[in-house]
Amino acid sequence: PVCSMGNSTSRLYSVLAKTLSSGAVSQHQDCLEQLDPARLDPIDPKDLLEECQIVLQKRPPRFQRNFVNLKKNTASNHRPIRVMQWNILAQALGEGKDNFVQCPMEALKWEERKCLILEEILAYKPDILCLQEVDHYFDTFEPLLSRLGYQCTFFPKPWSPCLDVERNNGPDGCALFFLKDRFELINSANIRLTAMKLKTNQVAIAQTLKCHDTGRLFCIAVTHLKARTGWERFRSAQGCDLLQNLKNITQGAKIPLIVCGDFNAEPTEEVYREFSNSSLNLNSAYKLLSPDGQSEPPYTTWKIRPSGECRHTLDYIWYSQHALNVNSALGLLTEEQIGPNRLPSFNYPSDHLSLVCDFSFNQDPDRLL
């Protein structure tokens, strides 16, 4: 099925139409061949945003969120690096497993929800985009974002729960995108996380990039740790494994680091303390929004399931505080904006909020690489 897109005369009509869900990845081969990014022209983001807004014209407008300036008189001649972290909610899980009892099924239609996700990304224009629960990578995000100038990497979970859902679109996983005109890829690692020396179903991607503006190296990583209560020790072990991998990749913190992820862990959990106390000297960027700079936001996910209402802080952007400054961070949605039915909704496509930060390099010459 193809959704109505106004008069269908836009040159992007066929692009969005071809990226609509039609089953498993194996059923998308014709689409994938037609959308080979090497053979397609770049997309103007304004045109794509306009297409999304045509699809979404019957939905409420996007929420207004404002950036909070956190810069502390750190002069920089270079434009900041904008990083976006977001668990976008796998389509198969949203429709088939998550049981959002207050969210109408109509709000979860992929044809429209996809455009809400794209609209959010296009609105904030990240230089680097870190996503979790991506199960439409090959038929939507890779073909579209590559044409917007991003280099794209995907690492699926070995045993994705999406595969248990009838008419799924393949496994979900982590995806990392960066703008090729801003960064050069130096190396890339796909990491399957271990716990108690056993390989687990959770993964991470870590890439070392060189910033064209500054010539500086830094590492960007994305991950999604094990969910659910009762798995705290398991998450802790996964966090230790990820930190050890990142220590090796960053040469013991010589290379600055940004780690984005859905950790499925509140700040009270051991895995949070491991990241806070790591020798990598990491801080959580969203703590800086609190009055004392020491407290995480009250929530990054808010949903209602049959078991009740779930409001938790699970998503983080960690950064090397000795080498990087947080210039600004995107404010979260208020309870009033989210509304009594919580997330996802007709306004907002995921049960997790997107986090967006602007980073600049510390100007200390002793830290230059």
Where in the chain are the domains?
Answer: 79-364
Mean pLDDT for 11-27 is 49
Higher pLDDT, 38 or 248: 248
Residue carrying structure tokens 């982590």:
174
In this structure, whether the domain defined by 79-364 belongs to CATH 3.30.70.2190 is answered with no
User: 223-237 pLDDT, tens per residue?
Assistant: 999 999 999 999 999
Residue 255: closest CA among 222, 207, 213, 287:
207
Instruction: Using a pLDDT cut of 70, give the percent of the chain over it.
Output: 87
- Residue 33 has a pLDDT of 45
Residue 76: closest CA among 283, 326, 258, 330:
326
Helices (DSSP H) in 20-131: which residue ranges? 29-34, 45-55, 91-96, 110-124
User: 135-161 pLDDT, tens per residue?
Assistant: 999 999 999 999 999 999 999 999 999
Instruction: Using a pLDDT cut of 90, give the percent of the chain over it.
Output: 79
- Residue 6 has a pLDDT of 36
* 326 within 8 A of 92, measured Cβ to Cβ: no
Residue 361: closest CA among 149, 180, 214, 163:
214
User: 273-314 pLDDT, tens per residue?
Assistant: 999 999 999 999 999 999 999 999 999 999 998 888 999 999
- Residue 38 has a pLDDT of 55
pLDDT, the chain, mean: 89
Q: State yes or no: pLDDT of 252 exceeds 80.
A: yes
The tokens describing 102, both together, are 């207050």
Q: State yes or no: pLDDT of 5 exceeds 50.
A: no
**Three-class DSSP category at 73:** coil
Q: What is the model's pTM?
A: 0.90
- Residue 3 has a pLDDT of 37
Q: State yes or no: pLDDT of 77 exceeds 70.
A: yes
Q: State yes or no: pLDDT of 354 exceeds 60.
A: yes
Q: State yes or no: pLDDT of 166 exceeds 60.
A: yes
Element (H, E) at 35: none
- Residue 266 has a pLDDT of 98
Higher pLDDT, 350 or 1: 350
- Residue 96 has a pLDDT of 82
- Residue 19 has a pLDDT of 54
Task: Kindly report which listed range (79-83, 253-257, 315-319, 337-341) carries the lowest average pLDDT score.
Answer: 337-341
Q: How confident is the model at residue 30 (pLDDT cuts 50, 70, 90)?
A: very low
